[in-house]
């Protein structure tokens, strides 16, 4: 695998999932595979799970790891071509990406949607600059439009807990005080549809996601109807795609409560984390045995390990 930035970069999803479960069962079985190789990770945005789990995955493969946060432990980077760099950014992405490509064998990049210019975000300008300029395989650590390492862990978690071959998976919008990207729901739809699950997406009017990700899903504005019979409830906030980056609703009736979970088929609760308690979901949901958010986060290590294994094998 030459890059891991979207589902289409994966030649064989079933094989990648098998590899992820192999890594979960035998995390130490590939101790020498990455010896002498280095993973670099560049973060334009904060991270807890992605940073630690991907680092762990790399060290389990025997790789060295260098991680940095742009602007605090590296220089602030200018990303616009032709910019007159007399402001706060000391370095241009052109030099930074090219130099990192000489220092590391695989490069992870986190660059969230800025939520100002939809075309720019959906063109993945920053991620693609790193791909183009570094010359090494790039792993998305959440880009403007997708979060594939999260989706692989999400699919692992559904496979682990599912009670039927085609579970009913409900992706529901939930309120949030800030405008968040569509990356997690886009990717979740992309991967769960590829798995052949029954995907129902519930959100208030105006929160329709980009159709390129959701074709094949059932889309509804009725959260209760969506939750009826659900095996998995995946809550997530996102800002509007249509009215790009805007918050159109703060409706607390969309919060996941024990009453909402009671509509499901004894469903499991999932979220990518970080989660705002008593905004996205009530304490009683997160603290119930039906919540699998921590197991889901634990699966980030074997997911990242399977991806890095596949990339390192092809170096
Ligand atoms: C990010 C997002 O894409 O929604 C990362 C999720 C893995 N989430 C946030 O930025 C949450 C920030 C907040 O203030 O709650």
* Mean pLDDT (whole number) for 172-196: 98
Which residues are CB-neighbours of 280 under 8 A, at least 6 positions away? Answer: 174, 175, 176, 235, 236, 237, 255, 256, 271
Q: Left (φ > 0), alpha (ψ -120 to 50) or beta: where does 41 sit? A: beta
Token representation of residue 8: 């289409």
Question: With a 6 A CB cut-off, is 183 part of the ligand 1 pocket?
Answer: yes
Q: How far apart are CA 194 and CA 214, in angstroms?
A: 11
234 secondary structure, DSSP code: E
Is CATH 3.40.630.40 what the domain over 150-297 is classified as, yes or no? Answer: no
Residue located via tokens 């200018």: 78
Nearest atom in ligand 1 to the alpha carbon of residue 180 is 4
pLDDT band at residue 234, thresholds of 50, 70 and 90? very high
**Are the beta carbons of 200 and 206 closer than 8 angstroms?**
no
Q: What is the pLDDT of residue 283?
A: 98
pLDDT value for 311: 98
Average pLDDT, the chain: 98
Residue 115 CB less than 6 A away from ligand 1: no
> C-alpha angle with apex 60: 57 to 65, nearest 5 degrees?
65
Q: Is the CB of 276 under 6 A from ligand 1?
A: yes
- The position carrying tokens 């992820």 is 20
Is the separation of the CB atoms in 285 and 268 below 8 Å? no
- Gap from CA of 180 to ligand 1 centroid (Å): 6
Q: What confidence tens digit (pLDDT) does each residue in 68-104 have?
A: 999 998 999 999 999 999 999 999 999 999 999 999 9
Q: Per-residue pLDDT tens for 144-163?
A: 999 999 999 999 999 999 99
- In short, whether 181's Cβ falls inside 6 Å of ligand 1 is yes
Tokens linked to 239: 């800002």
* Mean pLDDT, residues 6-13 taken together: 98
pLDDT of residue 235: 98
Q: What is the mean pLDDT of residues 218-233?
A: 98
The neighbouring-strand residues paired with 92 are: 78
Q: What is the pLDDT of residue 153?
A: 99
CA distances from 21 to 17, 122, 208, 312 (A): 6, 32, 33, 18
Check for a shared fold between 7-146+300-313 and 150-297.
yes
Q: How far is CA 275 from CA 26, 50, 139, 235, in A?
A: 30, 15, 24, 9
- The tens digit of pLDDT for each residue in 14-34 reads 999 999 999 999 999 999 999
- Choose the residue to mutate in 274, 276, 281 for probing ligand 1, maximizing ligand atoms within 8 Å of C-beta: 274
For the record, the structure tokens of 16 come out as 């990648």
Domain range summary for the chain, segments of one domain joined by +: 7-146+300-313, 150-297
Q: Which residues of 160-183 are buried (b: 16+ CB within 10 A; e: fewer)?
A: ebbeeeebbbbbbbbbbeeebbbb
- Assign 65 a pLDDT band (cuts: 50, 70, 90): very high
Taking residues 275-283, what's their average pLDDT?
A: 98
Is the distance from CB of 173 to CB of 203 less than 8 angstroms?
yes
Q: Domain 7-146+300-313: which topology? A: Rossmann fold (3.40.50)
Q: What is the pLDDT at residue 124?
A: 98
Q: What are the beta bridge partners of residue 38? A: 64
**pLDDT (0 to 100) of residue 117:** 97
On the CB side of 224, CA atoms within 13 Å amount to 2
Q: Is the Cβ atom of 274 under 6 angstroms away from ligand 1?
A: yes
> Which atom in ligand 1 lies closest to the alpha carbon of residue 272?
7
- The count of residues in the chain is 315
Closest-CA residue, ligand 1 atom 11, reads 274
């Amino acid at each position: 695998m030459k890059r891991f930035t979207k589902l289409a970069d994966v030649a064989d999803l079933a094989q990648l999932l098998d590899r992820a479960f192999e890594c979960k069962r035998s995390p130490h079985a590939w101790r020498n595979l990455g010896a002498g190789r280095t993973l670099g990770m560049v973060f334009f945005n904060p991270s807890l799970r992605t940073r630690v789990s991907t680092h762990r995955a790399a060290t389990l493969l025997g790789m060295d790891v260098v991680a940095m946060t742009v602007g605090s432990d590296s220089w602030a980077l200018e990303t616009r071509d032709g910019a007159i760099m007399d402001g706060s950014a000391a370095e241009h992405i052109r030099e930074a990406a090219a130099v990192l490509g000489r220092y590391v064998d695989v490069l992870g990049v986190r660059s969230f949607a800025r939520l100002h210019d939809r075309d720019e975000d959906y063109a993945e300008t920053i991620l693609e600059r790193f791909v183009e300029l570094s010359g090494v395989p790039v792993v998305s650590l959440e880009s403007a439009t997708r979060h594939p390492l999260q989706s692989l862990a999400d699919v692992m978690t559904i496979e682990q807990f599912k009670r039927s071959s085609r579970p009913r998976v409900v992706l529901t919008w939930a309120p949030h005080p800030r405008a968040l990207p569509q990356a997690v729901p886009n990717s979740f739809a992309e991967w769960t549809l590829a798995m052949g699950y029954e995907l129902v997406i519930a959100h208030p009017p105006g929160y329709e996601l980009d159709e390129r990700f959701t074709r094949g899903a059932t889309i509804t504005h009725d959260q209760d109807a969506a939750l009826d019979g659900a095996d998995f409830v995946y809550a997530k906030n996102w800002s509007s795609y249509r009215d790009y980056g805007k918050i159109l609703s703060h409706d607390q009736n969309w919060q996941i409560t024990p009453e909402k979970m009671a509509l499901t088929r004894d469903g499991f609760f999932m979220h990518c984390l970080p989660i705002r308690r008593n905004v996205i979901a009530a304490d009683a949901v997160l603290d119930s045995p039906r919540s699998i958010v921590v197991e889901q986060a634990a699966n980030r290590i074997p997911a990242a390990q399977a991806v890095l294994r596949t990339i390192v094998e092809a170096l």
